[in-house]
Amino acid sequence: MSVEFLSADIPNQGKESLQMIRCIAPWKISCAVVGLVFAFGVAVSAQDGAQQVEVRLRRDEPLRAMDALQTVATKQQLIDLGFDLARCGHYPANGVFRLEIDSEEDVRLLNENGFDVVETEDPGLRGGLIETSYFDPGEILTMLNQTASDHPGITELITIGTTLEGRPIRGIVISNNPGVDEDEPAIQFNAQHHAREVATSHVVIDLINRLTDQYGIDSEITDWVNNYETVCIPMVNPDGVQYVFNSDNNWRKNRRPNSGCGSGSGVGVDLNRNYPYLWGPGCGSSSSCFSLVYRGPSSASELETQAMMNLQDEYRFTIATSYHSSGRFIDYPYACSDGSAAGRMPEHGIIHEMMVAMAGAISAVDGVTYTPFTPVPFGGVNGDDTSWYYAHEGVYPFIVEIGTSFAPSFSLVPGIVNRNRAGWEYLYDRLGQARIDVRVVDHLTGLPLEAKVEMLQQDAANILFDTGEFDRFSEPIHGRSRWVTEANHTYTMRISKSGYQTRTVDVPVVNSPVDVPVLLLANGVSLGDEKQDGDVDLADYSEFQKCFDVAPIQTECRIFDMNADEAVNFDDLGEWTAALTGP
């Protein structure tokens, strides 16, 4: 159906006072587009809520693919008009972008600048018409309870928070010693930050079932459960999901009542715009409570966000993966980056490597291609969980967009689950490869220390953490700080703590984890001087002899560990002799 836009002699200008927007929905390549063309006679008001639309650039040769220069120019044109493009939900080669508009003025502005606007939300899909095969919040709880009951030796049920409507945010820990804080990497998987993305929880439930059902049967899975702690949160946003099933299957946000915003689209916060890193105006979120990407009244304002952040505080994950469903791609965590070297993540090399490999593993299953956006010139997203995980917590995070619609026909879900299984299996494999595990302890007591750990260089090339990253610290229980690295490089690490002497160590990494014990010596302490009387002398030697080759090293002997390798032997004798100052 084609409807001509009415023309008006209005000068071209940007949105200025209007809220910036972000593409939300996935692009579906289809010959038929459900919807209608907006004319000025169709009212689009903020009270009706933001509407997702396709924007088509009018072109003399509409069937000819746009080249890269045309794509960039079109993108810049929309940005100059005040529209904030995202990296999902558009098909720029065909001159097609997807945006969120919230007023008739948006339509007028786009029309006057050469774009046709098509509504793509089908009102007939509203009203809780999700296929019953998809998991609702109650079914998730039942399945988690059943899994814990069936596998009590390797699982622990956890409740990480409670929503405004009183629903538990439930998860499960999978480990050979559940409930025990072991010195091993932790890996996390979550789904349904966005309520309508109902297929995503099936990926996480499949992971849970595979790890528990195949433990003791599949040797690789058994190793993963024995060596790593896995935490799964299959439904971050149960209030929103219940609303999807009851009332509106296109609901995205949580169900927070927002003061002055009424009901309908004025309810809710986009949880994946509510995390602290880069929260606020400027990229990919809105201050309007009617927007689908409303970031909330303040960073981490939402109970669901707080629950996920507290979970990170408790488990200190090495890798975290967040499943979404607006395309088939792996998304770059710094989603406000313009793709330039200055805007990339400090450890861009390893993130890029893992994104490409993960996308390759998924694509190899059945030929359905997943693209690694690492990074791409389309942005952005701010206040998202993966950017926060990396910048503030030092986690290696991934957003996986698993499909091309929010609620695909359930007949497609087994294929989605099967191919994404290859993706998370890759992450487990990769976690067992090139990695630096720093362990910081007090030199004299051997007790773990919470110390600042920095990666300064890769093969003598400086690594700059200068895009808002927080300092990283070893965790206090085991003194660990874990860094996933590229293989076959040497990394320079600096470890420091107030009241202690700073140490800098070079760590060669081949393609397996490297354990790096770092013993920090308190200021004013002299190694080899057992009595700490200011002299390393023969009076200390008798004590040195008592400690020689005693394994494991005893606390009273640590003063003689001259080379900080947690042993007293011939390797220390030379340094002790060199320190000898008196008779």
**Span 111-133, mean pLDDT?**
65
Predicted confidence band of residue 71 (pLDDT cuts 50, 70, 90): confident
Query: Is the pLDDT reported for residue 114 higher than 80?
Result: yes
Query: Is the pLDDT reported for residue 228 higher than 60?
Result: yes
Query: Is the pLDDT reported for residue 318 higher than 80?
Result: yes
**Span 415-430, mean pLDDT?**
98
- Please give the mean pLDDT across all residues of the chain: 85
**Per-residue confidence (pLDDT) for residue 115, from 0 to 100:** 82
CA dihedral 304, 308, 309, 315 (to 10 degrees): 160
Query: Is the pLDDT reported for residue 565 higher than 60?
Result: yes
CA nearest neighbour of 169 among 133, 140, 199, 147: 140
Predicted confidence band of residue 25 (pLDDT cuts 50, 70, 90): very low
Q: What is the full DSSP assignment across 330-391? A: EEPS-TT--SSGGGS-TTHHHHHHHHHHHHHHHHHHHS---EEESS-SS----S-HHHHHHH
From 15-24, 133-142, 212-221, 395-404, the region with the lowest mean pLDDT: 15-24
Return the SS3 of 187.
Answer: strand
**Per-residue confidence (pLDDT) for residue 16, from 0 to 100:** 31
Of residues 385 and 20, more confidence is placed in: 385
SS3 percent helix, strand, coil of the chain, rounded to 5, is 30, 20, 50
Return the SS3 of 458.
Answer: strand
Ramachandran area for residue 244 (φ above 0: left; ψ -120 to 50: alpha; else beta):
alpha
Residue owning tokens 């836009």: 5
**Cβ density class 291-316: b for 16+ within 10 Å, e for less:** bbbbbbeebbebbbbebbbebbeebb
Predicted confidence band of residue 537 (pLDDT cuts 50, 70, 90): confident
Of residues 369 and 43, more confidence is placed in: 369
How would you classify the pairing of strands 371-373 and 489-496? unpaired
Of residues 285 and 236, more confidence is placed in: 236
Query: Is the pLDDT reported for residue 48 higher than 90?
Result: no
- Report the alpha-carbon distance of residue 555 to residue 550 in Å, rounded: 11
**Per-residue confidence (pLDDT) for residue 7, from 0 to 100:** 28
- Report the alpha-carbon distance of residue 71 to residue 488 in Å, rounded: 38
**Per-residue confidence (pLDDT) for residue 65, from 0 to 100:** 62
**Per-residue confidence (pLDDT) for residue 578, from 0 to 100:** 85
**Per-residue confidence (pLDDT) for residue 452, from 0 to 100:** 98
CA dihedral 401, 406, 410, 416 (to 10 degrees): 0
**Per-residue confidence (pLDDT) for residue 310, from 0 to 100:** 98
From 38-42, 430-434, 499-503, the region with the lowest mean pLDDT: 38-42
**Per-residue confidence (pLDDT) for residue 377, from 0 to 100:** 53
**Per-residue confidence (pLDDT) for residue 97, from 0 to 100:** 73
Do the beta carbons of residue 358 and residue 427 sit within 8 Å? yes
Do the beta carbons of residue 231 and residue 188 sit within 8 Å? yes
Q: Strand 51-57's sheet: what is its strand order?
A: 36-37, 115-119, 51-57, 96-101
**Per-residue confidence (pLDDT) for residue 21, from 0 to 100:** 27
- Please give the structure tokens belonging to residue 272: 């994946």
**Span 472-498, mean pLDDT?**
98
Query: Is the pLDDT reported for residue 9 higher than 60?
Result: no
- Rounded (5°) CA angle 344-280-452: 55
**Span 361-381, mean pLDDT?**
83
Predicted confidence band of residue 8 (pLDDT cuts 50, 70, 90): very low
Of residues 329 and 454, more confidence is placed in: 454
Question: pLDDT, tens digit, for every residue of 503-522?
Answer: 999 999 999 999 999 999 99
**Per-residue confidence (pLDDT) for residue 40, from 0 to 100:** 33
**Per-residue confidence (pLDDT) for residue 51, from 0 to 100:** 59
Question: pLDDT, tens digit, for every residue of 175-184?
Answer: 999 999 999 9
Centre a 10 Å sphere on the Cβ of residue 26 and count the other Cβ atoms it contains. 22
Q: Which amino acid is at 374?
A: T
**Span 568-575, mean pLDDT?**
88
Question: pLDDT, tens digit, for every residue of 246-304?
Answer: 999 999 999 999 999 988 889 999 999 999 999 998 788 899 999 999 999 999 999 99
From 95-109, 147-161, 556-570, the region with the lowest mean pLDDT: 95-109
**Span 19-40, mean pLDDT?**
31
**Per-residue confidence (pLDDT) for residue 27, from 0 to 100:** 29
CA nearest neighbour of 79 among 143, 126, 14, 133: 14
Q: What percent of the chain has pLDDT over 90?
A: 61
Nearby residues of 119 by Cβ (< 8 Å), 6 or more positions away: 35, 36, 37, 38, 51, 52, 53
Query: Is the pLDDT reported for residue 45 higher than 50?
Result: no
Of residues 6 and 94, more confidence is placed in: 94
Of residues 407 and 15, more confidence is placed in: 407
